[in-house]
Amino acid sequence: MMFTLDRGAMLRLSLITMTTSPTLALLGCSSGVKTYPVKLHVAYEDGTTIEGAIVAFQSVSDAGAKTKTYSGVGKVQADGTCTLTTFQPNDGLVAGLHRATVGLPPLWGMQGQDPDESQGPPTPPLHPKFRSPDTSELKFTVTPSGPNEFSIQLERP
């Protein structure tokens, strides 16, 4: 049986794999690119945290510039905190403007177990606009001088 994944599905699968398997993140090569620690707090507007959500940041290059862009990802913890990984676990992000997305791992409970024995915690749904950097409206600037501490407040669907 053969199946194909669209670009979005491949990106989500890559993000999930990198955040759930830190050893895979070590395979990346920084090529001397400097990163800066980033700490996030992710929750709904009422303060309810979203444990297990995946946050992805994509650096933004100037229009027309032939500059590399870099991605960083992290997994939201029970207290709503999240650190980001670009090349090595928790190394942060490159300096500059970043657009962000927030999503939920689609594979919870799909490890050959009954739904009642799911490995993931029950998590409320996220508004679909947060799945794309074009609609999320989440933009953050990382600076070398820091502190790079950001809060993401999400709307419910």
Domain-wise residue ranges, the chain:
8-20+34-154
Ramachandran angles phi, psi of 55, nearest 5° = -110, 130
pLDDT digits (tens, 9 = 90+) for 88-132: 999 999 999 999 999 987 654 444 444 555 555 555 678 889 999
Looking at residue 157, what is its pLDDT? 77
Distance CA 38, CA 20 (A): 18
pTM: 0.70
What architecture (CATH level 2) is domain 8-20+34-154? Answer: Sandwich (2.60)
In the sheet that 81-83 helps form, which strands lie side by side, from edge to edge?
A: 81-83, 39-44, 149-154
Looking at residue 126, what is its pLDDT? 82
pLDDT digits (tens, 9 = 90+) for 68-89: 889 999 999 999 999 999 999 9
Task: Give the CA distances from residue 64 to residues 59, 67, 70, in Å, rounded to whole numbers and listed in that order.
Answer: 15, 9, 16
Distance CA 133, CA 95 (A): 18
Looking at residue 113, what is its pLDDT? 44
- Residues 72, 142 contacting (CB under 8 angstroms): no
pLDDT digits (tens, 9 = 90+) for 20-68: 333 333 334 556 889 999 999 999 999 999 899 999 999 997 665 567 8
String of DSSP letters for 79-147: TSEEE-BSSSTT--B-SEEEEEEEE--TTTT-SSS-GGG-SSPP-----GGGGSTTTS-EEEEE-TT--
More confident residue, 156 or 93: 93
Question: CA quadruple 9, 48, 83, 111: dihedral positive or negative?
Answer: negative
More confident residue, 63 or 1: 63
Looking at residue 68, what is its pLDDT? 80
Kindly report each contact of residues 9-14 with a partner whose C-beta sits within 8 Å and lies 24 or more positions away, as own/partner: 11/56, 12/54, 12/103, 12/106
